[in-house]
Amino acid sequence: MTATRDATAQPSSFAKSLFAGALPDDMVFPYPQLEKDESRTVRQLISSARDFLDDNYDSRTVEEQRWVGDEIISGLGERGLLGLYVAPEYGGQGLSQTGYCRVMEEFGGYDASLSVVMGVHQSIGMKPIHMFGTEDQKARFLPDLAAGRKLAGFGLTEPSAGSDAYNVASYAEQQADGSFVLNGEKRWIGNGAKDVVVVFARCETGHVALTVERGMDGFEAPHRFDTLGLLGNDLRKLTFNDVRVPKENVLGEPGDGFRIAMSTLNNGRMSLGTGVVGATKKLIEQAIEYTTNREQFGMSLSEFELVQDKVGWMVSYLYGLESMAYMTTGLVDSGVGDYSVESAMSKVSSTEFIWYAVNRVFQLMGGTAYMADSPIARTLRDTRIFPIFEGANDVLRAFIALSGMKVIADEFEDLRKIELSDPIRTMGTIADFVRGRVSRTLNPAQLETAHPALGEHADAVADQTKRLRGTVEKLLRAHGKDVKFRQRHQKRLADASTDIFAQVATISRTTSLFADQGVEASGQEHYIADSFCNRAAARVRSQLNRVEDNDDQQIHSIARVAYNHGGYGPKLH
């Protein structure tokens, strides 16, 4: 079998290019920056948010009252903070994706409940209206939503359809006048009892997106869920009993609903990643304040090597994560239409990183952190949901890996009609792959625009990218159509490709910094970038090595034995 088109043709996104063994550095150099006018607007909005929240927001009160407060929503709305990306003609700030995410980073560092309420409202709640609404729909809904007079929610998850979002059971029947009669149930819907919820349901032509408003007959939010964390987030069960949704409230065309839902989530995941950036900066400050003021064995905790390891790890990893998160938003702002894989990478890596970071700070603070009313205990409870919502990380890893595999498969006639890029709907099938070496010509990957001082890291990334492609080919040859079931390998590919993308973003960011202020003046960032890239490269090697050298079969067998025993089988004799 031979390639039927140029194997070096650039895929639709930078992350997918990595799987093809390519590094199109024109997509990622120079590192994206805000224009001066927008940067000034962002700073003013952040300053306004801080002034208002410092005077009016209390996290303990929010937990006690189990809501961030209508007065908080109103006050933020009056300051233009609830319509950050909405066009000025609809009462918004008109920020770019990067500008929006920089402001959302501030909320992430302030309080998780507030950040989630704001994210549900803007990142996914009213985003479908902004992205897919008609001019009339935007004019009717966006001004009130941008001003904080109304709040928006996103109605996708159901009792039997979480990660398998394609198979929602809610059904909307189209009427002769173009309206829909909606029946069904949603659960775990943030802002669900407020004002506007974009609801996704099955219909005769596939799926439909409906803008449901509070007060519509048959629409109720009868139950609020009690949760481990995020106690200020109003999480609801929603029921729809013959709810008539007028034609004017249908987003897009009937049949477009699933595409609208997935496009919204792809976009919304970016602000979750940058919110984690803000939250981690706050964690680092808490860790440093505690360890520098706490003494044990006659010396400050901050002087112990294992304490320094935890703080240093957080700073180094955050630099790479921050670089990747804002590289992704910059790709959107530059007009790249396909950013689904980059968005998923940002979501997976950021939400798992903060969970580990919270636990390390918790460890540093010891018994103080374990008290129920401690801020770090609240953070621990609040952030545990992050790897689960807006796409469970295991599912997103499959999405990343299978989307990348499809890039290789699409080079061959026999494999071109697979569905690997849509694993949320179906894991798809793939024809048996030839077991011989594929004939092709592949130009070597290079990051030619990287600063010479980062040349070692640029060369390492090029080697990793070529190895990633080779590993994908081996898996396709070895497993053929069964590759969709090889989730352990999918995780390895997803994690390796994410670390490669993060290194590229870090190299690009640091290259721009060197160009702006010189290598010597950027000494701190230089050695932080070195640390991150070296560690990320080691993780890539480990993940790709494990594709061929692993104990997967043993783990599979052990799990089956445990299933048969209904628990832990071995006994002491």
Strands (E), 143-179: 152-155, 171-174
* Angle ∠(38,42,44) on CA atoms, nearest 5: 115
Residue 339 amino acid letter: Y
Residue 120 amino acid letter: V
210: enclosing H helix or E strand: strand 206-213
The neighbouring-strand residues paired with 239 are: 185, 220
How far is Cα 249 from Cα 415, in angstroms, rounded to an integer? 40
How far is Cα 362 from Cα 410, in angstroms, rounded to an integer? 47
Burial of 572 (0-12, 13-18, 19+ CB in 10 A): exposed
The neighbouring-strand residues paired with 213 are: 196
How far is Cα 329 from Cα 305, in angstroms, rounded to an integer? 36
Active site residue 213: no
Q: Please identify which residue in the block is written with the tokens 């000025």.
A: 88
Catalytic residue, chosen from 63, 106, 322, 390, is 390
Listed as own residue / partner, the contacts of 290-298 with beta carbons closer than 8 Å and 24 or more positions apart are: 290/364, 290/365, 290/368, 291/364
Q: What is the DSSP letter of 568?
A: -
Residue 298, CA distances (Å) to 294, 295, 301, 302, 304 in order: 10, 6, 9, 12, 11
* Pairing, β 206-213 against β 295-296: unpaired
Residue 467, CA distances (Å) to 22, 395, 463, 471 in order: 11, 24, 6, 6
Residue 310 amino acid letter: K
* Pairing, β 196-203 against β 152-155: parallel
* Pairing, β 299-300 against β 235-245: unpaired
Q: Helix or strand or coil: residue 365?
A: helix
Whether 158 and 168 have beta carbons less than 8 Å apart is answered as yes
Whether 256 and 208 have beta carbons less than 8 Å apart is answered as yes
Closest Cα partner for 283 from 343, 349, 356?
A: 356
Whether 231 and 216 have beta carbons less than 8 Å apart is answered as no
Torsion of CA 210, 268, 488, 529, to 10 degrees: 170
Strands (E), 194-347: 196-203, 206-213, 219-224, 235-245, 250-251, 295-296, 299-300
How far is Cα 34 from Cα 42, in angstroms, rounded to an integer? 9
Whether 487 and 495 have beta carbons less than 8 Å apart is answered as no
Q: Helix or strand or coil: residue 199?
A: strand
Strands (E), 20-155: 152-155
Would you please indicate which residues are annotated as catalytic (active-site) residues? 390
